Chains A and B, each alone.
Chain A
Amino acid sequence: MFFHIVLERNMQLHPRHFGRDLRDKLVAKLMKDVEGTCSGRHGFVVAITGIESVGKGLIRDGTGFVTFPVKYQCVVFRPFKGEISEAVVTMVNKMGFFAEAGPVQIFVSNHLIPDDMEFQSGDIPNYTTSDGSVKIQKDSEVRLKIIGTRVDATEIFCIGTIKDDFLGVISDPGATS
């Protein structure tokens, strides 16, 4: 789920950047340091939308670097347990399938896939119902519920299920009308 949030960060700037473009350089450095990063609390910082305030700089003893406290607004993406998400399948194997919802990877175990769907190996591995009416394969869109999340330094990984009501395949890339 996306959120619009105000975060704060202490930015260090080398004296060579001081001058009339100080603020622009500070903002550019902030974007470079923060956009695309991931934290357990806020999720992925997708984009910075604005700068709320830049505080007074403090010179660090011995180095000459200056630290500025910067408050900025940004759009973050963070998955939550219990959230319903529409993801695109990226890989299917006998243990389950992997899907992507934005920058987040989600794994759905075969135990959390309806029992009437079975794994079919082959050139295009997939899960299919016994009558062949519903198929989950690479690039299928599925609606799933997130039941667990894990965050590491660079990404968020989730576990999902499609075994509840109103969950499952939304669109199948291989479907012919």
Chain B
Amino acid sequence: MAEKGEKGFSLSNGGKSSLKSPASFKGKDDSTAKSKRGRKVQFDAEEAKISMSSKSGGKVDKPVARGDWGKGGKGDKIANGGEVPVVKAPPPLELKIEHELPENAKCLMDCEAAEILQGIQEQMVILSEDPAIKIPISFDRGLQYAKRGSHYISPHPVRRVLDALKLHNVSDGEVSMIANVGPESVEEVFALVPSLKGKKSKLREPLKDALDQLAKLKHST
């Protein structure tokens, strides 16, 4: 058990250190430049803290931070408190789909995907009689997953209910995730979709309404 723990620690430390490395590298860069830049270097350390705290934005944050370094001297007063950025708690991992997929990508709920793939499967039954045509394994697994994850009787009313949340700046990915998870309470939504926490006060009522309507659309179990 101890061995397992140690190995786990080395792995997790390795993981944690790799997460921390952007900040530490920044620190190293700053130290070499400290003697040359003075004021700006201290501001860099604070920017490194800020960029670490908004780490979920990933690589995008770094160039923005660097751009800001040259602009202000606000770092003087703030940065004196710490030379090495210390991350107390990593921010919750947020879902960011829009940056990684092309704009024409439409996020599907599991129930919608199940409906589409079911229709294709009915056609494939005819095609599968031809021995030259092989149905890929990922199709079967995808269909099974979509069916299992589909909590609702029909996808269209679900889409209508959740599209109303888009008026409150909930993204496509977040809407699909809410539908797929099938949460029972608003607190569950905020816990599982941390990107919505910033709009908690505005979203509480619309989410509650949406969840009440979704509960009526679920399969009876």
Contacts and interface: CB of A to CB of B under 8 A. Distances in A.
Interface of A: 1-6, 32, 35-36, 38, 41-42, 44-47, 49, 75, 77-78, 80-86, 88, 94-95, 100-103, 109-111, 141, 143, 145, 147, 164-166
B93 A41 contact: no
The 8 closest A-B pairs by CB, nearest first: A36-B136, A102-B145, A2-B113, A103-B138, A46-B142, A82-B95, A2-B108, A82-B93
A145 B138 contact: no
Given A1-B177, A80-B173, A110-B8, 14 more contacts: A1-B108, A4-B116, A5-B101, A5-B104, A46-B139, A47-B117, A81-B96, A82-B95, A82-B96, A84-B193, A102-B144, A103-B138, A103-B141, A111-B11
27 contacts: A1-B97, A1-B108, A1-B180, A2-B108, A4-B106, A5-B105, A35-B139, A36-B136, A41-B101, A44-B138, A46-B142, A47-B117, A49-B116, A75-B108, A75-B117, A77-B138, A81-B95, A82-B195, A83-B177, A86-B180, A101-B145, A103-B138, A103-B142, A103-B145, A109-B8, A109-B11, A111-B8
Contact of A42 (B101, B107, B193): B101
B105 A44 contact: no
A86 B93 contact: no
Contacts, number: 128
Interface string B112-150: 110011001000000000000100111101111110110
A75 B142 contact: yes
A26 B58 CA distance: 41
A86 B105 contact: no
**Which label, helix, strand, loop or mixed, suits the secondary structure of the A interface?**
strand
B142 A44 contact: yes
A84 B141 contact: no
B8 A166 contact: no
B164 to A, nearest CB: 20
Nearest to A38: B138
A92 to B, nearest CB: 15
B137 to A, nearest CB: 7
A149 to B, nearest CB: 10
A145 B95 CA distance: 10
Contacts of B144: 102
A126 B148 CA distance: 23
A5 B142 contact: no
B55 to A, nearest CB: 12
Contacts of A143: 181
B176 A1 contact: yes
Nearest to A45: B138
A76 B11 CA distance: 32
A149 B11 CA distance: 16
Nearest to B194: A82
Nearest to B189: A166
Nearest to B102: A5
B136 A41 contact: no
Contacts of B193: 84
